Amino acid sequence: MVEDRFGFVRVRGELSGVKRAASGHLYLALKDENARLDAVMWRGTVQRLNFQPEDGLEVIATGKLTTYPGRSNYQLVVERMEVAGEGALLALLAKTKARLEAEGLFDRTRKRPLPFLPRVIGVVTSPTGAVIRDILHRLADRFPSRVLVWPVLVQGPGAADQVAAAVRGFSAMQGADRPDLVIVARGGGSIEDLWAFNEEAVVRAIATSSVPVISAVGHETDTTLADFAADLRAPTPTAAAEIAVPVREELVGQLAELALRKRRAVVRPLHLGRERLAARAERLPAPAALLSPHAQKLDELAERLRRGLVDRTQLARGELQRTAARLSLPLLKARTEQARGRLDGLVRIFVSLDPKRVLARGYVQVTGADGRTLVSRAKAATEARLILHFGDGALEVAPEGAAGRAPQKPKPALPTDPGAQGKLL
């Protein structure tokens, strides 16, 4: 009877005891100052919600009443739920913002600088709206770039999950297609229309993205939590395209200006150097004026050198004359006699070493038959005959041990001096 009588009801109240089960179902209660009504929302319905139910949020729930025999009470099976009025949405927004801000998701230290000239730009938006056309046209006008569009729902059930998945997908890309910058964009609308960009899933995806993100949601007066999490907020999607890339013509002009300044900077020191050189050259004295003192000093030094050489020569000549005067004739004679005595001694030594005089003092020279002088007994024993040279002649003998050899008659001695010619030895 309850289900037939109350098959469609709308209840406005404050959420209390919100709890999500492991199965995905949502259990909660609706209350006001006078009453409390238990409610349940099945998993499929929960997935279509465009906001996160929380305790204290005022909502309007639509569904039907049913009984639960396990506790002998009745409950509301919610088929649709929406925030009750803009004030409630703003209160939920403030509460969610405070909680996420306390986690540090909106800190300025997390903000990253945007690339000056991104090679690839990723855009998360609806592929059929005017937003993507405005972004593409503005990029083409300023600086043509490669754009990757990740199509998503930007309003209604499932929009928040798609936007979060797109941001995470761009962040996870690798290789040449990985974007250098991501733009999350949507046109203007009411707070309900933009609510998907206030969802916690979208905020966390933007805050943890490894690619810098520009948030361009709504008009200039619209503000979402995605704006606080992004690295930069643009007032409109068109402004996001203007922020993303510079103007190509302006860059070309800047490069030309820098090139001109560079040439001027290179030439200016040369001109300044020439001016300074000319100014200094004018202050320099004439070459003749610089050389005249040195030439005069050189002449003086040359004259002093000439006089010094003359004086030195005269001093040397006088010293030589004085030395010659001191050398007397007796001294020269004494020196001459001393030299003659040393010379006579050398002559006597030379004469005493004459071979004939040595033999005359009793020495003997032993030679072989071929006339070679023998200085050892072993060598003499090998000779067939020996010749002994004395001061007064020579004697031929046979060495001891030369058996079988008949003694020969001594030959006459050779003359030992010129007066002995014609005599037999």
Above 90 in pLDDT, residue 242? yes
* Same domain as 347, residue 365: no
Query: What count of other Cβ atoms lies within 10 Å of the Cβ of residue 324?
Result: 8
344 and 405 inside one domain: no
What's residue 331's pLDDT? 66
CATH code for the domain of 163: 3.40.50.10550
- Domain for residue 92, yes or no? no
- Alpha-carbon torsion angle 274, 277, 281, 284, nearest 10: 170
Question: Are residues 245 and 143 in contact, defined by beta-carbon separation less than 8 angstroms?
Answer: yes
Who contacts 237 (Cβ-Cβ below 8 Å, separation ≥6)? 125, 131, 134, 135, 183, 185, 186, 187, 216
Burial of 10 from C-beta contacts in 10 A (0-12 / 13-18 / 19+): exposed
Answer yes or no: do 9 and 68 share one domain.
Answer: yes
Q: Check residue 215 and give its pLDDT.
A: 94
**Final residue of a structural domain among 297, 331, 353:** 353
On whether both 340 and 376 belong to a single domain, the answer is no
Percent of the chain with pLDDT over 90: 32
Q: Kindly indicate the confidence band of residue 401, based on its pLDDT and cuts at 50, 70 and 90.
A: low
Within this chain, do residues 405 and 323 fall inside the same structural domain, yes or no?
no
Handedness of CA 95, 98, 102, 107 (dihedral sign): positive
Whether 157 and 214 map to the same domain: the answer is: yes
330 and 361 within one domain: no
Helix (H) or strand (E) holding 259: helix 248-283
State whether 228 and 337 are in the same domain. no
First to last CA, the chain: 186
pLDDT tens digit sequence for 53-92: 888 888 889 999 988 777 778 899 999 888 776 667 777 7
| Residue 396 lies inside a defined structural domain of this protein | yes
Domain boundary (224, 246, 268) is at 246
- The answer as to whether 95 is a domain residue is no
Judge whether 48 lies within some domain: yes
388's CB contacts (< 8 A; 6+ apart) are: 364, 365, 366, 394, 395, 396, 397
Please report, for the domain that includes residue 77, its CATH number: 2.40.50.140
Q: How many helices (H) and strands (E) does the chain have?
A: 13, 13
Asked whether residue 306 carries a pLDDT value surpassing 90, the answer given is no
- pLDDT number for residue 382: 86
* Number of domains the chain is built from: 5
Residues 321 and 406 in one domain: no
- Residue 203: the pLDDT is 93
Domain that holds residue 410: 357-420
Residue 371 lies in a domain: yes
Q: What is the pTM of this model?
A: 0.50
CA atoms within 13 A on the CB side of 250: 7
Lowest mean pLDDT segment, chosen from 233-247, 309-323, 334-348, 392-406 = 392-406
Say yes or no: 120 and 238 in one domain.
yes
Q: What is the Cα gyration radius of the chain?
A: 66
CA distance 388 to 403: 20
Same domain assignment for residues 128 and 194: yes
In a domain, 306, yes or no: no
Assess if residue 172 is contained within a domain: yes
Residue 298 covered by a domain: no
Note whether 241 and 272 are same-domain residues.
no
Exposed/middle/buried for residue 123 (C-beta within 10 Å: 0-12, 13-18, 19+): buried
Is the pLDDT assigned to residue 235 strictly greater than 70? yes
